[in-house]
A and B are shown apart, each in its own frame.
Chain A
Amino acid sequence: MASIVEMPELVLEKVIGFSDFKAVLSLRQVCRDFRNFIDDLNDSKLPDSKFQEVKITSGDKRIEFELVDSDNFSNRILFSKAERSRRFYGNTEVFENSNIMDVAVRDLEMILKFQKTILKQLRFEISSSCQHYNDSSVNALPIKLSNMFKKLNRKIKTKVLIILADYPSEVMSIFDFVDPDTLKTLGFTLWGGYLETEIDEFVKTEHWKKADGMSSDFIVLNLNVEDICHFSSCSIRTNSITAQELDFLRKTYTSSSNYKNSSIHLRSFNEIEELGNLWDPTDFFDSESSWLFRMKNSDERILHIEIHEDHSAHSTRKIVDFVEIPSSWVSPEAIIHDYNGN
């Protein structure tokens, strides 16, 4: 009787082609011959793992991967640094002689080797309780991942990329292995809370340039509005902004064919009068002002701009909202300015 291990390569390749991702991972563990055969196969011959979302959480004590599959089912793999263990579906495996982070990176490599579908979302949460940059091993994860992807010679394709990290440098090392071509939306959170951060490095990346939506919750130092005007949807915080800069954004947005909305949070805004001179002083009220501008390419769409105050427990800040709305929402008496300011 014939045995499966003596089958010609073409046959095994076909069998693997008809197997799903989980079956191939099981086959890999059956014997050394299968493992070598599968590992040597070209990625194109492997089945698609079809994950929709990948969430990677890394802290002082543990690393967690959450993988949402095409049935919307969430698979979690937990790595404990103290126990040097991996936990998956109630099975715990201890790795006495390995760095658990290497085990985690290897597992992720194995999973992503099969991923062909573009992810809906890739989310990184990297945090460390000790804030000393040098002795935190947490930061090693993005770097180890970056090296792994370099070795694989590929990048993760995702539509949405969300990064929660301690430092901008971590964000940059994650950019290293994310394909900018499929990116639609970027989201950033820095744990330091309302830290002031320069984004010079970010804005130079293809990821920043190619995305059309961006939201960040830290305070951007030296914001250059030209760096954010290409986003059709944007939420950003900064210290202050000039009336000229707001007018530049207004002009860009009204000329854009796919503009949606933006929200700029300001610690202070002192140029409300200048803005009134530029746009229209009649719409100027005490703490809330709003303007309507016709979009350049459509009579159906109107850009609604509103400046209002937000009183939180600690401080008062000004919020400038630019929202594109259908013209049917606007009352007939409202004054609508032409896109060129008339």
Chain B
Amino acid sequence: MSSTEQGTSSAAPAEPTTAPESAAAPEVPESFYYVHGKDKVVHKVSAGALQHSALIHGMISNLGYTEEQAKANPFPFENIDGDILQMVVDWCNQHKGKPTPPEDTNLPKQKEKLFDLVLAVNYLEIKELLTYCCKQVAMMVKGKSPEEIREIWMIPTDAEDEAAEKEAKKRAGKEAAGETAAAAGDAK
């Protein structure tokens, strides 16, 4: 029985039932923090689960919030979609205080979700989950030709890319010309 498991059970009810006086069992009840993504849906997550994220762990370790303060100040992650943040929170809860397995097969299979997850996980600095995600991304294109990879990862060819760039430049050029014209107009 690990100390973290005790921590979980003690946090939910009011008083821990007469737990054996084990030296490893911490008396401090577990603290919780709150996070939300782009959709503003707030998730309550234990500090133990949030330890997976080096970013959040760094933030909360210096705050010393009370339960009320934590509730009143959820961490906003406006750059992360709600469903992606849900996935991250679920993963952190599932792997709280556990040694992470060498493989994780529960990652999203759709590439759109996987790429968004990679960006979120990279931002939140969740090392193990990032490793699994990167492995999954690599597996997507194993044994595939460059053309197939382009299709799977939806990458434009250099020619398409150049054309798009030229188009963007043209537009930017036009806008700039418009602006200078406007500026010239102002000066008059």
Residues on A lying within 8 angstroms of B by beta carbon are 1-8, 10-11, 14-20, 22-23, 26-27, 29-32
Contacts and interface: CB of A to CB of B under 8 A. Distances in A.
Nearest to A1: B112
B146 A23 contact: no
Contact of A23 (B115, B143, B153, B156): B143
B155 A31 contact: yes
Contact of B146 (A3, A6, A30): A30
Contact of A30 (B122, B135, B143, B149): B149
18 contacts: A3-B153, A4-B155, A7-B118, A10-B122, A11-B137, A15-B137, A18-B135, A19-B142, A20-B142, A26-B146, A26-B149, A29-B146, A30-B146, A30-B149, A31-B150, A31-B157, A31-B158, A32-B158
Given A11-B122, A30-B155, A31-B157, A18 B138 contact: yes
Give the one of A2, A6, A27 with max B CB within 10 A: A2
B144 interface: yes
A1 to B, nearest CB: 5
B177 to A, nearest CB: 29
Interface in B119-159: 119, 122, 130-131, 134-135, 137-139, 141-146, 149-150, 153-158
Given A11-B130, A17-B134, A3 B142 contact: no
B: contact size bracket? 20 to 34
B144 A26 contact: yes
A26 B118 contact: no
Contact of A15 (B119, B138, B146, B154): B138
Given A4-B154, A15-B138, A30-B149, 15 more contacts: A1-B112, A1-B116, A3-B153, A7-B119, A7-B122, A10-B122, A11-B134, A14-B134, A15-B134, A18-B135, A18-B138, A18-B139, A19-B142, A30-B155, A31-B156
Contacts of B104: none
Contacts of B131: 14
